[in-house]
Amino acid sequence: MFIKRLIVENTTEIIREINFTNGLNLILDDTPSDDTKSTGNNVGKTTVLKLIDFCLGSNPNIIFTDTENKKDVYTLVKEFLTDEQITITLILTEGFGAHSGKQIEIQRNFLSGKKAIRKINGKSILAKDFEDELERLIMPEKDTEKPKFRQIISHNIRYKEDSINNTLKTLNAFTTDIEYETLYLYLLGCTFNEGAKKQALTSQINQENIFKERLEKKQTKTTYEIALALLEDEIIKLNEKKSSFNLNETLEEDLEQLNLVKYNINKTSSFISKLEIRKNLIEESKQELESSISHIDLQQLRILYNEVTANISGIQKTFEELVAYHNNMVVEKVKYISQDLPQLTEKLNVAHSELSSLLKQEKDLTERVSKGDSFEELEKVIAELNEKYREKGEYENIISQLNEVENNIDSLNKQIKDIDQYLFSGDFEILLKEQIKKFNKFFSNISQELYGEKYALTYKKEVNKKGQQYYKFNAFNANMSSGKKQGEILCFDLAYLLFADEEHIPCLHFLLNDKKELMHDNQLVKVAEFVQDKNIQLVISILKDKLPTAILNKSHVAIELSQNDKLFRIENYQ
């Protein structure tokens, strides 16, 4: 899909209508670079890229917050977008000219609640279903749950600092190595349908580790085991001291039974507490997963689907099957995560019942012991014994819970290991090497043509801090020189579009790039010439006085902005 048109409008008029075409598209800012009063950073050239990203599912906050410092909010822009009820329309097309193919029209505004506009081809879409619907229309042949649509297109849209300066690390800072592994295996066309399962298992291991950290907040398992052994020795000594008192036989038996009951009360109470923590963690994860189940009105969208299938041949998957596939995957995850809930609930019911019985026994025994004769020294020993038994019950429960967590982690790691047996098998690695070899033909040829240097993609197998193995991908300069990072990134993105076409991998055919002022004039001209006859749309925002004159003949100026004519033309509405 290419970008055909971007429209900015309010309820009464069109503020901007920006048309795009194949090849190089320029978003120009004619602010002179030597103008110290006007830096060109606030006319809206980067915002054009952000608006496209917004229509493709990004958060609306990107439009009125600083890209590098999210705490800086442009209040004037934010209020304008809401007060004027600004609507953004993005039209995507399969091609240009007479045979443009199908089109997708996306509309969004910046209001919330019932006033929010979130439409695709004229149909309102719920926020939670928006990304999935875009994926279904733009990448209908994609049959894996992970990576997600926004992850796949992350390298197509580069205006944030991280994506501008990193070739492969295009996602947020919290993205795990396992997620990047799944993303690049997909981009390279290496079929790996268990990527979602591996991420789910990894997430569960993280959950178990959090629970383990809570249990070991005060001491480690080894420390608890050592402390328990010392407690047992102290209990033996206290019992020996207690038995030396000359007491009647009935009182002795009652005291021993009372101590045992109190020990069991503490042990059961601690056991209940740990079970409830575990149950709550599972229920929180279950609720979070259930909230991602799609509830699209299939009847309403069937008409649209029939119209699409009537005009486009070759669609093999029904809309219902895609939604059902997504929901089934979520349901299976919910089943997997919540499979221990019935057993945990049953254990809790049994434990509460046992606790009630023990409390009643304690009450009866306490009353019976209090009626007998006792000595002050004996009472001190008994009090100390009670405390030791309480600590013993607590330690034993913590150790038991830690053993259970460790067993769960071992079991989950075993499942990941089973997946990795295929993922890191000789056959899969042969496939991976072959796909990287195909990709590098494009990558090295393009970089040689544009920059006179050969770049390439490589990988290595690494193990993270948790002992999990994964593929880590890297782009490097095949000439072993320092190279140019901006060139490497652009060449990678261009190479991927050509590679994806050859391998029939669904992808967007446009690239959005910001801050290309540092590129050399000759390189800009070469890039313009390169994309001119390729099935690629390159959109660059750049200062006009940084632009070589020759490039204007080889490109399309989508929009030209200035200090006197900014993107939103807010001044006209004040």
Structure tokens at 422: 């295929």
As given in the structure block, the two tokens for residue 26 are 């320029």
Among the listed residues 16, 24, 25, 67, the one whose alpha carbon sits nearest the alpha carbon of residue 42: 67
Structure-token match 């997909």, residue found: 186
pTM of structure:
0.66
Q: Which amino acid is at 77?
A: V
Q: Model confidence over 196-214: pLDDT tens digits? A: 677 677 777 777 888 888 8
Report which residue type is found at 57.
G
Q: Find where tokens 């085991």 sit.
A: 225
Q: How far apart are CA 297 and CA 125, in angstroms?
A: 10
Least Cα distance to 411 among 158, 144, 153, 208 occurs for 208
Q: Which of 16, 2, 1, 3 is nearest to 568 (CA)?
A: 16
Beta strands at 87-93 and 103-109: parallel, antiparallel or unpaired: antiparallel
Domains and CATH numbers, the chain: 1-175+506-574 (3.40.50), 208-417 (no CATH), 424-505 (3.30.300)
Task: Look at the alpha carbons of 153, 157, 161, 164 in this order and tell me if their dihedral is positive or negative.
Answer: positive
3-state secondary structure 140-177: CCCCCCCCCHHHHHHHHEECCHHHHHCCCCCCCCCCCH
Q: What is the pLDDT along the chain (574 residues), one digit of tens a residue?
A: 999 999 999 999 999 999 999 999 999 988 766 554 444 457 999 999 999 999 999 999 999 987 667 778 899 999 999 999 999 999 999 988 767 788 999 999 999 999 999 999 999 999 999 999 999 999 988 878 788 999 999 999 999 888 888 899 999 888 888 889 889 988 998 866 666 677 677 777 777 888 888 888 878 888 888 888 888 888 888 888 777 765 545 667 777 888 888 888 888 888 888 888 888 887 777 777 667 665 555 566 567 667 767 776 666 666 666 566 656 766 676 677 667 778 878 888 888 888 888 888 888 888 777 655 455 677 788 888 888 888 888 888 888 888 888 888 888 877 777 777 767 778 888 888 999 999 999 999 999 988 888 899 999 988 888 777 888 999 888 654 444 677 789 999 999 999 999 999 989 999 999 877 667 777 888 888 899 888 899 999 988 887 888 888 888 999 999 998 999 999 888 7
Signed CA dihedral, 154, 156, 159, 163: sign only: positive
